[in-house]
Amino acid sequence: MTDSEVKILTSYDMNGLLLRNRLAVAPMTRVSASVTGLATPRMTSYYERFAKGGFGLVITEGIYTDQKFSQGYPFQPGIVDQEQALAWRDLTQRIHAHQGAVFAQIMHAGALSQGNRFTDHSAAPSAVRPKGEQMRFYYGEGQYPVPRAMSDEDIADAVSGFAQAAKRAVEEAGFDGVEIHGANGYLLDQFLTDHTNQRADRWGGNTQRRLGLTLEVIKAVRDAVGAVPVGVRISQGKVNDFTHKWANGERDAEIIFGSLSDAGVDFLHVTEFEAWRPAFANNSTSLVGLAHRYAPDATLIANGGLQISEHADFALEEGADLIALGKAALANPDFPKRLAASESFTDFDASILGPIADIKGCELNC
Ligand SMILES: Cc1cc2nc3c(=O)[nH]c(=O)nc-3n(C[C@H](O)[C@H](O)[C@H](O)COP(=O)(O)O)c2cc1C
């Protein structure tokens, strides 16, 4: 076993939350909730497998936060009322029973919504049609509609939705912490991104101002949940624009990671398609390395192709504290146990996500 494999299997203290090792399951939407957004027994079994298999931390799929514009897909779970919150309870308890910890990822889809049972239109910072096409494996088809530009009231409702969702996640559902989805092109990333945020008010303008909504959400969530771990997921690439780069390179990274750190996040979850690659063409440091440089006090979770041991080594050297696995965890829900036993890993089979990315075969394998 390499030094970093040994390190990955050691425990980690995230501001008082003790994780048995440094392996996390990355958030993965599985469009398998009930029509009304309730987590189901099938989802409970699906998530329980990861804790049984030894993962120290499980981060849920993106959960919608309000009854306005946040829902992204049909059959996405929500946490907008007590019934939805309590539907997660068995799941969090079962993960705890296997000595795992579990964070709720709270998400607002903004312009990338492709199915929202509360409304027939989407809302975003500006009325700009998103690039790309809706994702078929989440029941989408064709172009994204042009969203409505959010009013001050819509923005206030979105912030309050994140805060209320976080409070329910911790107090009613039993989650150990909350990850705010600020990545991958969804609402908070739409505010951060220059071409999707054309606002002339306090939420638009330079990088610092475009980050303002994320900072406001962090503050509201922190006020709602108190001292439990709160963090943000950040990326450059988006589900509808894989190669997007921050226009001002490392200077943007300094502003973004520095401000998130100042806002008091416990953790930053940095994801890139291949997280070991340099973040910018003129810079040899990865985005993980830049997050560590400008937010040295936050726990750093790295994600993106890190199931390969050399890549995980590199991420740890660049400053990552935890490694999050997506597709490799789907293929190996017992990845940590296999690693500890020096057993081989199963390759990811993309057919389990087609044609719809729901939970297939879980009744048999869970
Ligand atoms: C089916 C599927 C669903 C995903 N859903 C989410 C999600 O809900 N929230 C999120 O932040 N990322 C989501 N992702 C991205 C993953 O968290 C992760 O960043 C990506 O799979 C790259 O990591 P990997 O190389 O370890 O698979 C999803 C990925 C997959 C494959």
Structural domain harbouring 31: 3-365
The response to whether residue 28 sits with its C-beta less than 6 Å from ligand 1 reads yes
Residue 162 confidence class, pLDDT cut points 50, 70, 90: very high
Residue 1 confidence class, pLDDT cut points 50, 70, 90: confident
The response to whether residue 65 sits with its C-beta less than 6 Å from ligand 1 reads no
For residue 362, is pLDDT > 80? no
Is the overall model pTM greater than 0.85, yes or no?
yes
- Per-residue pLDDT at 217: 98
Q: Which atom of ligand 1 lies closest to the CA of 179?
A: 11
Tell me which residue has tokens 């209320």.
164
Protein residue closest via CA to atom 20 of ligand 1 = 326
Q: What is the CATH number of the domain that holds 66?
A: 3.20.20.70
- Per-residue pLDDT at 186: 98
- Per-residue pLDDT at 135: 96
The response to whether residue 31 sits with its C-beta less than 6 Å from ligand 1 reads no
Whether 186 is catalytic: yes
pLDDT digits (tens, 9 = 90+) for 303-357: 999 999 999 999 999 999 999 999 999 999 999 999 999 999 999 999 999 999 9
Averaged pLDDT for residues 129-150: 97
Residue 175 confidence class, pLDDT cut points 50, 70, 90: very high
The response to whether residue 231 sits with its C-beta less than 6 Å from ligand 1 reads no
- Mean pLDDT for the chain? 96
Q: Which of 107, 154, 106 is nearest to 126 (CA)?
A: 154
pLDDT digits (tens, 9 = 90+) for 276-288: 999 999 889 999 9
Averaged pLDDT for residues 251-279: 98
- Per-residue pLDDT at 54: 98
Protein residue closest via CA to atom 11 of ligand 1 = 27
Instruction: Count Cβ atoms within 10 A of the Cβ of residue 254 and give its class: 0-12 exposed, 13-18 middle, 19 or more buried.
Output: middle
Q: Which atom of ligand 1 lies closest to the CA of 181?
A: 11
**What's the structural domain count of the chain?**
1
pLDDT digits (tens, 9 = 90+) for 98-121: 999 999 999 999 999 999 999 999
For residue 364, is pLDDT > 90? no
For residue 212, is pLDDT > 90? yes
The amino acid sitting at 111 is A
Distance of CA 270 to the CA centre of its chain: 9
For residue 159, is pLDDT > 80? yes
Ligand 1 mean position, distance from CA 151 (Å):
30
The response to whether residue 188 sits with its C-beta less than 6 Å from ligand 1 reads no
Ligand 1 mean position, distance from CA 28 (Å):
5
The one catalytic residue in 12, 46, 139, 186 is 186
Q: Three-state secondary structure along the chain? A: CCHHHHHHCCCEEECCEEECCCEEECCCCCCCCCCCCCCCHHHHHHHHHHHHCCCCEEEEEEEECCCCCCCCCCCCCECCCHHHHHHCHHHHHHHHHCCCEEEEEEECCHHHCCCCCCCCCCEECCCCCCCCECCHHHCCCCECCCCEECCHHHHHHHHHHHHHHHHHHHHCCCCCEEEEECCECCHHHHHHCCCCCCCCCCCCCCHHHHCHHHHHHHHHHHHHHCCCCEEEEEECCECCECCCCCCCHHHHHHHHHHHHHHCCCCEEEEECCCCCCEEECCEEEEHHHHHHHHCCCCEEEEECCCCCHHHHHHHHHCCCCEEEECHHHHHCCCHHHHHHCCCCCCCCCHHHHCCCCCCCCHHHHC
For residue 38, is pLDDT > 70? yes
